[in-house]
Chain A
Amino acid sequence: MMEEEKFELLAMDFLAGTMNEVDAKAFEELLLNNPGYKERFLVLKEGWAMMDAMESPEPSNQMDGAFYEMLNVEMEQQKKKTSNGQLPAWLTDLIKPQWAFGMLLLIVGLTLGYFLAPSVGSRPEPQDMVIAQNETEEVRQKLVLTLLDQPSANQRLQGVSEANKFQSADSIVIKALLQTLNRDADVNVRLAAIESLTNYVDNPMVRQGLVQSIPNQESPLLQITLANLMVALQEKASIAPFKQLLKEKQLDTTVKKRIEKTIESII
């Protein structure tokens, strides 16, 4: 008979799949030749399977919201520290004359190397980098969507400013921004959403969304901002919604004049 503890160790290694092939075969033989051990192993395996099957509920969206808010605050603080801080010690070292001369030689060397090296720029970007970048974009997308869904207007503003960091926003983010533009209770958040959407005016979905949001805006500030934007874009599709807006009795007189001017300049 084998020592109690030795069997326990071997059984765990076998279950966890950390045994090499030879040892695993020897353990299987041990089980075949000793029904007592086999039974004990089956009991253990059952316990292991029970733990595997154990599930837990899904965490709520609030957990994501709290995490990204904390991360955002930390990132903001870091930015402030780096912009307000004094020159780091290594940088002050660089300013010493002998280092400056060394740096100059290095820069000359690098410049020569750059021009003499065969087309370094044409190397394909490593796939890993692209994947990592995509993953970062995915996380940022999640961050934007979570922040835009928060009850605090400040957090929603942060969400819009995060959206500005995308190299090219996808349709999910654009839809979320358009929804913010149409439904957000806070005028500042809506204004920030327009500003963010102007980065993607080449996208027909964005132009259409901006035009469709015209009748939804009650704030004079937003109405004028959209009017100015439509003039800049020379968007003819905006004429009809602006004409519809002109029929509103409560329309501010300044806004009314501005919209009439807008329609004229687009036609």
Chain B
Amino acid sequence: MQNLTDNVLMMKVKSGDLDKLGLLYERHKRKLFGFFYNLGNNPSVSEDLVQNVFVRILKYRESYSGDGAFAAWMFQMARNVNNDHHKKISKERIFDGIAPEDVMEGSDDGLNETMDQQGDAIRLKRALTFLPDDKREILLLSKYRELKFHEIAQIVGCSEGAAKVRVHRALNDLRKIFLEMEML
């Protein structure tokens, strides 16, 4: 199945077979969208940011070496895209994210579950918005199991051990906020 790996496809894109980017897009669009959305961007901004990631992948395709996992390279770009976007909007003083108080029932995305489960899903999203940006980011990177801890570490710029400890502590913080919100 060598022909189908992300790395091989990306090497083909690098060598000029741009068609193959469509396959990579289809494989990763949902994960990237979820990453941006759960980082607090609204759906329409999240879609724009996904598009920006693929524009950058095309622009910097020559720099892809194929040494590490494609997903790690892609999420590194996604992180930069998100940071650049937030730098830009903070300069322009625009708020286009989701404030904790805006994560409400009814504005949810059709989770077809019981009311209790829906309530939990909404509370969890709210809890995530209360976490500091760096903790939220590392949690979301670890959510997609295809990234190994050493790759997450590379993306956020720390050691592998530090990445594990950070994820551990962020998970505990998230749960704590979640339970506190349940008490309210």
User: Is A66 within 8 A of B109, CB to CB?
Assistant: no
User: Is B33 within 8 A of A44, CB to CB?
Assistant: no
5 residue pairs A–B, Cβ–Cβ below 8 Å: A5-B165, A9-B161, A60-B47, A74-B58, A75-B19
User: Is B121 within 8 A of A54, CB to CB?
Assistant: yes
Question: In the complex, what residue of chain B is closest to A128 when comparing beta carbons?
Answer: B3
User: Is B55 within 8 A of A70, CB to CB?
Assistant: yes
Among the listed stretches B63-71, B84-92, B170-178, which one makes contact with chain A, having 4 or more residues with CB under 8 Å of it? B170-178
Smallest beta-carbon distance A114→chain B, Å: 25
Q: Is B43 an interface residue (CB 8 A)?
A: yes
Q: Is A142 an interface residue (CB 8 A)?
A: yes
| Complex Cα–Cα for A71 and B13 (A) | 11
Chain A residues whose CB sits within 8 angstroms of the CB of B145 once the complex forms: 16
Which residue of the partner chain, among B23, B148, B178, contacts A18 with CB atoms under 8 Å? B148
Q: Is A2 an interface residue (CB 8 A)?
A: no
| Interface core residue of A16, A18, A55 (most chain B CB under 10 Å) | A55
Q: Is B139 an interface residue (CB 8 A)?
A: yes
Q: Which residues of A contact B (CB under 8 A)?
A: 5, 8-9, 11-13, 16, 18, 43-44, 46-48, 50-60, 62-64, 66-68, 70-71, 74-75, 78, 128-129, 131-132, 135-136, 139-140, 142-143
Number of CB contacts from chain A to chain B under 8 A = 132
The SS class assigned to the A binding surface is helix
Chain B residues whose CB sits within 8 angstroms of the CB of A135 once the complex forms: 4, 23
Beyond A44-B172, A71-B21, is A9–B164 a contact (Cβ under 8 Å)? yes
User: Is B30 within 8 A of A59, CB to CB?
Assistant: yes
Chain A residues whose CB sits within 8 angstroms of the CB of B169 once the complex forms: 8
Chain A residues whose CB sits within 8 angstroms of the CB of B164 once the complex forms: 8-9, 12-13
Chain A residues whose CB sits within 8 angstroms of the CB of B76 once the complex forms: none
Q: Is B29 an interface residue (CB 8 A)?
A: yes
User: Is A57 within 8 A of B4, CB to CB?
Assistant: no
Which residue of the partner chain, among B25, B26, B38, B172, contacts A56 with CB atoms under 8 Å? B38
User: Is A51 within 8 A of B21, CB to CB?
Assistant: no
The SS class assigned to the B binding surface is helix
User: Is A74 within 8 A of B23, CB to CB?
Assistant: no
Q: What band does the interface of chain B fall in when counting residues whose beta carbon is under 8 Å from A?
A: 35 or more
Beyond A56-B38, A128-B4, A131-B1, is A63–B23 a contact (Cβ under 8 Å)? no
Q: In the complex, given contacts A55-B121, A129-B3, A136-B19, what are 5 additional A-B residue pairs having Cβ atoms less than 8 angstroms apart?
A: A5-B161, A8-B164, A47-B172, A48-B171, A64-B29
User: Is B23 within 8 A of A59, CB to CB?
Assistant: no
User: Is B29 within 8 A of A59, CB to CB?
Assistant: yes
User: Is A128 within 8 A of B175, CB to CB?
Assistant: no
Beyond A9-B164, A57-B43, A131-B3, is A68–B22 a contact (Cβ under 8 Å)? yes
User: Is A63 within 8 A of B171, CB to CB?
Assistant: no
Q: Is B128 an interface residue (CB 8 A)?
A: yes
Smallest beta-carbon distance B5→chain A, Å: 10
User: Is B3 within 8 A of A71, CB to CB?
Assistant: no
Contact string, B111-137, partner A, CB cutoff 8 A, digits 1/0? 100000000010011001000000000
| Complex Cα–Cα for A18 and B143 (A) | 15
Chain A residues whose CB sits within 8 angstroms of the CB of B26 once the complex forms: 139, 142
User: Is B19 within 8 A of A139, CB to CB?
Assistant: yes
User: Is A131 within 8 A of B124, CB to CB?
Assistant: no
Question: In the complex, what residue of chain A is closest to B8 when comparing beta carbons?
Answer: A132
Q: Is B83 an interface residue (CB 8 A)?
A: no
